[in-house]
Structure 1
Amino acid sequence: MWSILKRVTRLLMLLVVMSVFGVGKVRAQSITPAADGTGTNVTTKGNQYDIDGGSLSGDGANLFHSFEQFGLSQGEIANFLSNPNLVNILGRIGGGNPSVINGLIQVT
């Protein structure tokens, strides 16, 4: 009984210390490609997510990407890699989380 009480007390003390001094946030990848066959690839380079692959339309004018999640924090960049023949880049987000875009979306 005393050993359980000691563990609970230690856990409560740890939670108090963590709340007072804070705990650093763990940053998960903001952009995750979906495993649905579209071939979307995401490569992280610092604060930039380079997005390539995807599926082309029959006429090569449209590129389709699919993501499980898509969000950008302030200072992050989603960089869609393109070619001169593309007219439209379309993205679909299939996960259940909301997409919050506080960063930059660009095409290069």
Structure 2
Amino acid sequence: MYAVSKTALLGLVKGLAAELGPQGIRVTGLAPGIVPTKLSSYLVQSPELAQQQADATYLKRLGTPEDMAATVAFLASGDAAYVTGETLVVAGGMPSKL
């Protein structure tokens, strides 16, 4: 179910961007890597598990809420004025399955 819902969200971003683009409305998505939060706590419940997850990234660290917020700020800014219909993977280089 998780994979199906992720795929549906990717399609929703593409579909809404096509539909709303002529009105000047941009639609983008964010696909975060592992960020230690309540939702992902089972993936980082011990220092060893957290280190395994960090080691799976090219940057050798987990993401932070600030990493995700900075990406959202970029996508909402004028600097991303020509970005629509895309889902940006922000995962420290962890191999993406999107």
TM-score, L = length of structure 2: 0.21
Larger of the two Rg values belongs to structure: 1
Q: Which has the higher helix share?
A: 2
Q: Which has the higher strand share?
A: 1
